[in-house]
Amino acid sequence: MKRKTPQLDAIDRQMIAILRAEGRITNQALSERVGLSARPCLERMRRLEASGLIAGYGARLSPELAGHAIIAFAQISLRDHSVGRRERVEKVLRACPDVVELLVISGEADYLARIVASSLAAYEELTGAWLADNQLGIARIATTFALKALKDFEGYPLLGE
């Protein structure tokens, strides 16, 4: 079921902008920056979290420093599109820690996966195992390797930013 986009006022938008830039800010500091007392600020933040608009908080790691020399975008195509096959493939891909993003897509491929690996050999070993597993039924993996990041993904913008 699709959630309804919450109604946001100027303070909500300001809070979101601050949280996107400074996720570790304390509620007290956030409340001071947006001109609210701590309690109403916390209630707004909880409302934004409960609505699902704020999906979580976390640290963004440098791929290179985390040991990921390879960042690949893999278009994965299935031989068989039965529900059972798709569920099996999705379970394996979601459980793989090297698959850092997985999307169902339209077009020639069925999935687009962002995959990190310590080396090209490690990437080939991972994808080769998927291709060799007849239970998965992966027909093809077309890979594009990232050469250099010009802008890192920092979350989704709020409409109107």
Sheet holding 99-104, edge to edge: 99-104, 111-117, 70-78, 138-145
Kindly give the residue spans of alpha helices, DSSP state H, lying in 22-119. Answer: 27-34, 38-50, 83-95
Task: Identify the CA nearest to 138 among candidates 54, 76, 57.
Answer: 76
Domain that holds residue 128: 70-145
Residues 76 and 31 occupy one common structural domain: no
Q: Is residue 79 part of a domain?
A: yes
Residues 25 and 92 occupy one common structural domain: no
Residues 79 and 131 occupy one common structural domain: yes
Q: Is residue 23 part of a domain?
A: yes
Q: Is residue 55 part of a domain?
A: no
The pLDDT tens digits of the residues spanning 99-108 come to 999 999 999 9
- 0.75 surpassed by pTM: yes
Residue 49's contacts (CB-CB under 8 Å, 6 or more residues apart) are: none
Residues 74 and 141 occupy one common structural domain: yes
Longest dimension (CA), the chain: 59
Q: Is residue 156 part of a domain?
A: no
Q: Is the pLDDT reported for residue 1 higher than 80?
A: no
The pLDDT tens digits of the residues spanning 76-114 come to 999 999 999 999 999 999 999 999 999 999 999 999 999
Q: Is residue 17 part of a domain?
A: yes
Residues 124 and 85 occupy one common structural domain: yes
Question: Is-contact 149 137, C-beta < 8 A?
Answer: no
What's the structural domain count of the chain?
A: 2
Residues 31 and 85 occupy one common structural domain: no
